[in-house]
Amino acid sequence: MNSNAGSAFQTIESAHDFVTLLAETVTEAKQDVEGDVLRKSSVKNSERLDVLRMALYSLSKLEMYVSKSCHILGDLRSQQNLLSRR
């Protein structure tokens, strides 16, 4: 395992930046899959369409969890700022 992996997020800000970038990437991937679902929706009984819909469902869940994580990190950042003022 990379020795830098344990020190990747030295601060809440760096973790927040990463999660924000992850959220953007997940949203882009979800939009790509939504486009694929629309293009394949005219095909009846398509196994590929079923898999695309499952992927879209998973990406939607991931998008929600990453968004919640981003909000929590933002709250932690605010709390940290409040604590450092005292």
Which pLDDT does position 1 carry in this prediction? 40
**What CATH code is assigned to 11-85?**
1.10.287
Per-residue pLDDT tens digits for 23-78 = 999 999 999 999 999 998 887 778 999 999 999 999 999 999 999 999 999 999 99
Query: How deeply is 19 buried, as exposed, middle or buried, from its count of CB atoms within 10 A (0-12, 13-18, 19+)?
Result: buried
CB 18 within 8 A of CB 9: yes
d(CA 12, CA 65): 17
